[in-house]
Amino acid sequence: MYPSRTEQPRFRTTEQRLVAARAFDAGARAYHDVRPGYPEEIIALLRGARTVVDVGAGTGKLTAALARHHEVLALDPSPEMISLAARHAPAWRATAEHTGLATHSVDAAACAQTWHWLDVEATCAELDRVIRPGGRILLVWNTLDVSDAWVLRLSRIMHAGDVLRPGFYPAVAAPWRLATEERLTWQDHLTPPEILALARTRSYWLRSPHSIRQRVESNLEWYLYEHSGYGEEDVIALPYRCDAFVFSRTRTAMRTGLP
């Protein structure tokens, strides 16, 4: 088996992208319970920004971490997701392409695990409108660290479609350019039942018929309990990669902003 060479998920049509994104609505509670958080080094990349909007906030995993250091706003199109994020910050239903924010009303925007679901050009234009001059965009991805052979096989069984090629860069549009990046590894700690629950938050599982869901769960149970020998209450250190990117405006764009 070989790690994915994918830069980021690709969709044949806009409708396919939207249908895939909506699959997460049904699993909001489970998503929040077992999806990983974010290392503090990533949160520090927005140091100095007072007001941050978490775009595509989902259940508020990143929102909660940002709220320890910033005034945070959160938006997501899913009513199920945003109801959970609202526990951490003022939150409302909106898309990244049409945030509902006033012009130049925030210092920065953050987007975790979401950028590949968006219309990149429209989102970059909208963030150019709402972020103040000198502001930044933070894009973050947690992905299973498949450099570990055991995790690589786990990701194949789970059909973890978010395993991106090491060293990838996300696509962005003008006027934004890469200012800095942070790539690190860390560990989350889950029991086998929690790893099974994690598999149920993947878009592949959520969009699959019952027969395929059963097959995925059966294969995972075999891998965790029979092949690997774990017990129900064993805690497994699950390695992750975290890739984070900070974007700022080009000099030309900055000259066109507010004085």
The predicted model gives 188-196 an average pLDDT of: 95
Sequence ranges of the domains in the chain: 14-144+163-187+240-255
76 residue type, one letter: D
- Kindly report the pTM of this predicted structure: 0.83
Residue 244 confidence (pLDDT) above 60: yes
pLDDT above 80 (res 257): no
| Superfamily of segment(s) 14-144+163-187+240-255 | Vaccinia Virus protein VP39 (3.40.50.150)
Round to whole Å and give the CA distance between 129 and 113. 22
pLDDT in tens, 199-226: 998 888 888 999 999 999 999 999 999 9
Measured distance CA(158)–CA(145) in Å, rounded: 14
Cα–Cα nearest to 17, from 165, 107, 157, 118 = 118
CA distance 205 to 99: 29
| pLDDT above 60: residue 258 | no
* Mean pLDDT over the full length of the chain: 87
